[in-house]
């Protein structure tokens, strides 16, 4: 594929740039289509994204419908078919402002104003449309072969809620129609697995206008949540963690000392108590620090590994809320480890191994990022270098491949982030390990070494699930609601055929309950096919036990598996033994 640069150079596109160039060019072609259909449109930003492209557009009072998106897409196809050449040009800053002003492109003029005084501004023209851009682009519109507009939404200009809300039109683009078709199938499957839809069908959780961003967990959802908590507690007891609980609301002075007030106050909720400002905690770490500081410590006690399933609150913009993935209230499976400098590598290795055990349990692949010092940070250069090297050494000791993510560390220290890959190939950032030299300094934490001298401990912040609520959303979509037996809200449904003697079905149900199996008896006078479909498609129950005349006569159970869709006959004792093994071993 040939591309054209802002200086007019035409060259073969490097393979790694092909999709980005196609998608950026698609944004320009979409903007040209919009301008033809809505001449009053004024354009903000229109970048390529990981999967496609978007453009933020001021359409005045015009509200777009799904039919309008189709019209825009059809106009794009006309532009592609016209095979319009795309030509670059360059202006100095003053001429560029004049040029854009004449076109009433106020957002582009504002953008030019944000650029350095000596900037050279490049433009790309395609027929009757010209856009400010650094390029490169495809040489002719016909090179865009596979694209589709997907949705529209609102977006603040420059992502600032104090600015005007623009219309964001999203689209996707690929090299070939086959690649586009494959991606559309993936989108359909993702929609089928949407945790909001499945959560409603399975009665796991609910969202209400009375509490936007504050999810309600229903009885079945609480079973799922509690099983995750039980597993978390089990593996942490085995790894010599103690569990603590810290207050939901603490004085503002604590958050000033920790650094959160200066770096995070816009995302914090606060209230006035006894004429003083108190904050609802957005993170658990200051509380964990206070627990450590509540008594003196010896080097012999370290490391101290303190876990907390703490509920935190963070103010998220309403437009950013999304099911369980982005909420304002959630439970973090935090732990804070206080240790000596010589223990850093071993402790990080231990945390990585624990997180690996958790993700392997659910069948997740993952990759790791090492995030380094951000611009808005606390602490000395020496401490940051030591902390970053500690994380790097641990990853290399484990032989774990990692990607460097420059400048994305926490404000108090570098971090290792774990990105899960689900059954659809999507990635999610969940687990994290953050090494912190700063907070122990801020809170003057100490321990006494072997020479009876006072030393400063080092601190690790870490999570496995991240947010339990978000992790439930990820699991729901990963398994499409077909949870493993140990996690399933209802593990077995006993289904009776109409007219059958129910005494044996009651015996089966009671036996399963006595063995602590989460079980339901469906003895409604309905056809067995209807009951099976409901158990499979709505409740997604791992096992269905079907009781008919044959089963009553032989005193056996016909067990239908949701995973294999096969029905196997066995004795009740055999089935109970099978269940007990799968639940105990969490397979």
* Among 187, 211, 230, residue at a domain's last position: 187
* Among 166, 187, 208, residue at a domain's last position: 187
pLDDT in tens, 223-272: 999 999 999 999 999 999 999 999 999 999 999 999 889 888 899 999 99
**What band does 478 get if pLDDT is binned at 50, 70 and 90?**
very high
Q: Is the pLDDT of residue 136 over 90?
A: yes
The question of whether 285 is a catalytic residue gets the answer yes
Instruction: Decide: residue 293, CB within 10 A, 0-12 exposed, 13-18 middle, 19+ buried.
Output: middle
Q: Is the pLDDT of residue 387 over 90?
A: no
Cα torsion angle, 337, 342, 345, 346, sign: negative
10: helix, strand or coil: strand
Stretch 137-142: mean pLDDT, rounded? 96
Statement to judge: residues 399 and 517 lie in one domain: no
User: In the prediction, which pLDDT does 354 show?
Assistant: 96
Q: Which helix (H) or strand (E) holds 311?
A: strand 304-313
Q: What is the CATH number of the domain that holds 82?
A: 3.30.980.10
Statement to judge: residues 40 and 78 lie in one domain: yes
Q: Which helix (H) or strand (E) holds 509?
A: helix 503-514
pLDDT in tens, 186-237: 989 999 999 999 999 999 999 999 999 999 999 999 999 999 999 999 999 9
- Determine, yes or no, domain membership for 140: yes
- Determine, yes or no, domain membership for 97: yes
Q: How far apart are CA 146 and CA 26, in angstroms?
A: 10
Statement to judge: residues 409 and 514 lie in one domain: no
Give Cβ neighbours of residue 37 (< 8 Å, ≥ 6 apart): 71, 72, 75
pLDDT > 70 in the chain, percent = 100
Statement to judge: residues 201 and 178 lie in one domain: no
Catalytic-labelled residue, pool 32, 126, 152, 332: 332
Statement to judge: residues 207 and 256 lie in one domain: yes
Stretch 372-389: mean pLDDT, rounded? 86
Statement to judge: residues 152 and 242 lie in one domain: no
pLDDT in tens, 21-30: 999 999 999 9
Mean pLDDT, all residues of the chain: 94
Q: What is the CATH number of the domain that holds 318?
A: 3.30.930.10
- Determine, yes or no, domain membership for 471: yes
- Determine, yes or no, domain membership for 484: no
Q: Which two tokens stand for residue 64?
A: 């777009």
Statement to judge: residues 384 and 282 lie in one domain: yes
The question of whether 332 is a catalytic residue gets the answer yes
Q: How far apart are CA 577 and CA 515, in angstroms?
A: 10
The question of whether 68 is a catalytic residue gets the answer no
Q: What is the CATH number of the domain that holds 499?
A: 3.40.50.800
User: In the prediction, which pLDDT does 320 show?
Assistant: 86
**What band does 379 get if pLDDT is binned at 50, 70 and 90?**
confident
Catalytic-labelled residue, pool 24, 305, 328, 336: 336
Statement to judge: residues 496 and 446 lie in one domain: no
User: In the prediction, which pLDDT does 423 show?
Assistant: 86
Q: Is the pLDDT of residue 159 over 90?
A: no
pLDDT in tens, 533-551: 999 999 999 999 999 999 9
**Count of domains in the chain?**
3
- Determine, yes or no, domain membership for 94: yes
Q: Is the pLDDT of residue 42 over 90?
A: yes
Under a CB-based contact definition with an 8 Å cutoff, are residues 164 and 149 in contact? no
Phi, psi of 77 (to 5 degrees): -65, -35
pTM: 0.86
Statement to judge: residues 83 and 42 lie in one domain: yes
- Determine, yes or no, domain membership for 128: yes
Q: Is the pLDDT of residue 327 over 90?
A: yes
Statement to judge: residues 455 and 396 lie in one domain: yes
- Determine, yes or no, domain membership for 260: yes
What domain range is 578 assigned to? 492-585
Cα torsion angle, 41, 44, 47, 51, sign: negative
pLDDT in tens, 285-318: 999 999 999 999 999 999 999 999 999 999 998 8
Statement to judge: residues 179 and 204 lie in one domain: no
Give Cβ neighbours of residue 126 (< 8 Å, ≥ 6 apart): 28, 29, 32, 79, 84, 85, 86, 87, 141
Q: How far apart are CA 134 and CA 200, in angstroms?
A: 46
Residues paired with 369 in a beta bridge: 403, 417
Q: Which two tokens stand for residue 458?
A: 């080092």
Give Cβ neighbours of residue 335 (< 8 Å, ≥ 6 apart): 236, 241, 305, 306, 307, 308, 460, 461, 462, 463
E-assigned strand segments in 64-103: 86-92
- Determine, yes or no, domain membership for 483: no
pLDDT in tens, 391-446: 898 899 889 899 999 988 888 788 999 999 988 888 998 999 998 888 999 999 99
* Among 163, 187, 211, residue at a domain's last position: 187
**By C-alpha distance, which of 423, 445, 420 is closest to 432?**
420
The question of whether 193 is a catalytic residue gets the answer no
pLDDT in tens, 498-518: 989 899 999 999 999 999 999
Statement to judge: residues 281 and 404 lie in one domain: yes
Catalytic-labelled residue, pool 133, 139, 285, 430: 285
User: In the prediction, which pLDDT does 524 show?
Assistant: 93
The question of whether 313 is a catalytic residue gets the answer no
Catalytic-labelled residue, pool 23, 260, 415, 560: 415
Q: How far apart are CA 575 and CA 493, in angstroms?
A: 13
Phi, psi of 254 (to 5 degrees): -60, -40
């Amino acid at each position: 594929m040939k591309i054209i640069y802002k200086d007019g150079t035409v060259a073969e596109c490097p393979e790694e740039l092909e999709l980005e160039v196609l998608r950026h060019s698609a944004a320009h072609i979409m903007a040209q289509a919009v301008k033809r259909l809505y001449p009053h449109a004024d354009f903000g930003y229109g970048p390529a994204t990981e999967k496609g492209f978007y453009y933020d557009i001021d359409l005045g009072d015009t509200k777009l419908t799904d039919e309008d998106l189709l019209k825009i897409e059809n106009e794009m196809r006309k532009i592609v078919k016209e095979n319009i050449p795309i030509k670059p040009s360059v202006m100095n800053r003053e001429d560029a402002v004049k040029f854009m002003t004449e076109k009433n492109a106020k957002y582009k003029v504002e953008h030019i104003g944000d650029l350095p005084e000596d900037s050279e501004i490049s433009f790309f023209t395609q027929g009757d449309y010209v856009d400010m851009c650094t390029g490169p682009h495809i040489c002719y519109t016909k090179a865009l072969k596979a694209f589709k507009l997907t949705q529209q939404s609102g977006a603040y200009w420059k992502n600032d809620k104090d600015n005007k809300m623009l219309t964001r039109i999203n689209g996707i683009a690929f090299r070939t129609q086959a690649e586009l078709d494959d991606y559309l199938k993936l989108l359909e499957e993702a929609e089928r697995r949407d945790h909001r839809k499945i959560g409603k069908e399975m009665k796991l959780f609910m969202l209400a206008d009375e509490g936007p961003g504050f999810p309600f967990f229903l009885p079945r959802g609480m079973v799922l949540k509690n099983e995750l908590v039980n597993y978390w507690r089990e593996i942490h007891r085995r790894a010599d963690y103690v569990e603590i609980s810290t207050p939901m609301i603490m004085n503002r002075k604590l958050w000033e000392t920790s650094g959160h007030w200066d770096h995070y106050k816009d995302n914090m909720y606060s209230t006035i108590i006894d004429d003083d400002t108190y904050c609802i905690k957005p993170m658990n770490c200051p509380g964990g620090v206070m627990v450590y500081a509540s008594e003196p410590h010896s080097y012999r006690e370290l490391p101290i590994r303190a876990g907390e399933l703490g509920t935190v609150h963070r103010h998220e913009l309403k437009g950013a809320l999304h099911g369980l993935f982005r909420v304002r209230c959630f439970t973090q499976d935090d732990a804070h480890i206080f240790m000596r400098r010589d223990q850093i590598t071993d402790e990080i290795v231990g945390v990585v191994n624990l997180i690996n055990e958790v993700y392997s349990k659910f069948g997740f692949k993952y990759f790791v990022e090492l995030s380094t010092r951000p611009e808005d940070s606390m602490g000395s250069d020496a401490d940051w270098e030591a902390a970053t090297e500690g994380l790097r050494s641990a990853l290399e000791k484990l032989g774990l491949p990692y990607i460097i993510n420059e400048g994305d560390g926490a404000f108090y220290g570098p971090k290792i982030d774990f990105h899960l890959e689900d059954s659809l190939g999507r990635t999610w950032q969940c687990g994290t390990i953050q090494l912190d030299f700063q907070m122990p300094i801020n809170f003057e934490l100490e321990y006494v070494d072997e020479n009876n001298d006072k030393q400063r401990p080092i601190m690790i912040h870490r999570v496995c699930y991240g947010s339990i609520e978000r992790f439930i959303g990820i699991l729901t979509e990963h398994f499409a609601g077909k949870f493993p037996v140990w996690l399933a809200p209802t593990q077995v449904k006993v289904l009776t055929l109409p007219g059958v003697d129910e005494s044996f079905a009651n015996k089966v149900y009671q036996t399963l309950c006595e063995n602590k199996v989460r079980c339901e008896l469906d003895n409604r006078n309905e056809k067995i096919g209807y009951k099976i479909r409901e158990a499979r498609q709505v409740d997604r129950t791992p096992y269905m036990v079907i009781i008919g005349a044959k089963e009553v006569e032989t005193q056996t159970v016909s067990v239908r598996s949701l995973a294999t869709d096969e029905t196997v006959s066995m004795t009740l004792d055999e089935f109970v033994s099978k269940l007990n093994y799968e639940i105990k071993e969490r397979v």
